[in-house]
């Protein structure tokens, strides 16, 4: 008796049920999540990322930041994310599915060669810090294993007044440009920093417990990349 059709059907139904249980069920559950309207501030959360940040996400992907950084904070007891100050909420509430419903592509990442960046916009709110860190991480986090991204900046002649986001006043002597020149972020750098500053899950959803209180960053300790 030829049992091939039965074997085929058995394998087919096994795969179909597995797909339904693992993929489809989660998709239905995730797809039912909606933004939360807050009557106190008249806004919905999570908010849509501004256009500059959306462009910066493309730069983030293009530079391969996803290979060294995750964007998923685990709650206390599932790693030391909360103890490191990466969490956007209290110890019982790490990242939740609702945080990602505005994102067409979720950059959860797979490795933590560097720290999780899901709340870097809440931990490091100063754009100048972000620019210096991209130019050379050693300036703000000595001992960091992150490569410098000096190609995201340009040295140009000063015409009129220096650019408000010029870095030369913050750079060590050996990195100073020639007299009459300035180091400024390129458009890609501005977009990337806008994206990094937009990464902050500080809102308390029904499935979370409270709102994030940003710690005071300690130079050289957190090792942000």
Which among 225, 200, 219 is positioned nearest to 147, based on CA atoms?
225
Full residue range of the structural domain in which residue 82 is found: 36-152+185-198
Question: Is 204 part of a structural domain of the chain?
Answer: no
pTM: 0.82
Question: Is 146 part of a structural domain of the chain?
Answer: yes
Domain count for the chain, please give it.
1
Question: Is 174 part of a structural domain of the chain?
Answer: no
For residue 76, give the CATH number of its domain.
Answer: 1.10.760.10
Question: Is 92 part of a structural domain of the chain?
Answer: yes
Distance CA(117)–CA(72), nearest Å, equals: 8
Residues 6 or more apart in contact with residue 84 via CB below 8 angstroms: 115, 222
Which among 219, 207, 212, 220 is positioned nearest to 121, based on CA atoms?
212
Distance CA(192)–CA(68), nearest Å, equals: 16
3-state secondary structure of 48: coil
Ordered mean pLDDT values, 10 residues apiece, the chain (225 residues): 73 72 63 84 88 95 95 90 86 87 90 92 94 95 93 94 90 91 96 96 81 53 46
Question: Is 28 part of a structural domain of the chain?
Answer: no
Cβ contact 207:98 at 8 Å: yes
Question: Is 16 part of a structural domain of the chain?
Answer: no
* pLDDT value of position 217: 56
Question: Is 24 part of a structural domain of the chain?
Answer: no
Question: Is 58 part of a structural domain of the chain?
Answer: yes
């Amino acid at each position: 008796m030829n049992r091939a059709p039965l074997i085929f059907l058995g394998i087919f139904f096994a795969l179909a049920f597995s797909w339904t249980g693992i993929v489809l069920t989660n998709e239905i559950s995730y797809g039912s999540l909606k933004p939360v309207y807050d009557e106190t501030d008249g806004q919905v959360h999570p908010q849509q990322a501004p256009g500059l940040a959306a462009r910066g996400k493309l730069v983030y992907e293009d530079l391969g930041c996803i290979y060294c950084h995750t964007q998923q904070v685990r709650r206390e007891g599932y790693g030391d994310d909360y103890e490191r100050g990466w969490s956007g909420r209290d110890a019982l509430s790490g990242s939740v599915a609702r945080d990602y419903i505005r994102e067409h592509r979720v950059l959860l990442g797979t490795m933590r060669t560097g720290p999780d960046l899901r709340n870097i916009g809440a931990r490091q709110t100063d754009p100048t810090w972000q620019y210096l860190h991209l130019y050379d991480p050693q300036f703000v986090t000595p001992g960091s294993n992150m490569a410098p991204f000096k190609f995201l900046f340009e040295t140009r002649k000063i015409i009129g007044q220096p650019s408000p986001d010029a870095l030369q006043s913050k750079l060590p002597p050996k990195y100073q440009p020639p007299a009459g020149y300035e180091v400024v972020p390129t458009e890609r750098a501005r977009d990337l920093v806008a994206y990094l500053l937009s990464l902050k899950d500080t809102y308390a959803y029904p499935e979370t417990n409270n709102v994030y209180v940003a710690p005071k960053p300690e130079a050289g300790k957190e090792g942000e990349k």
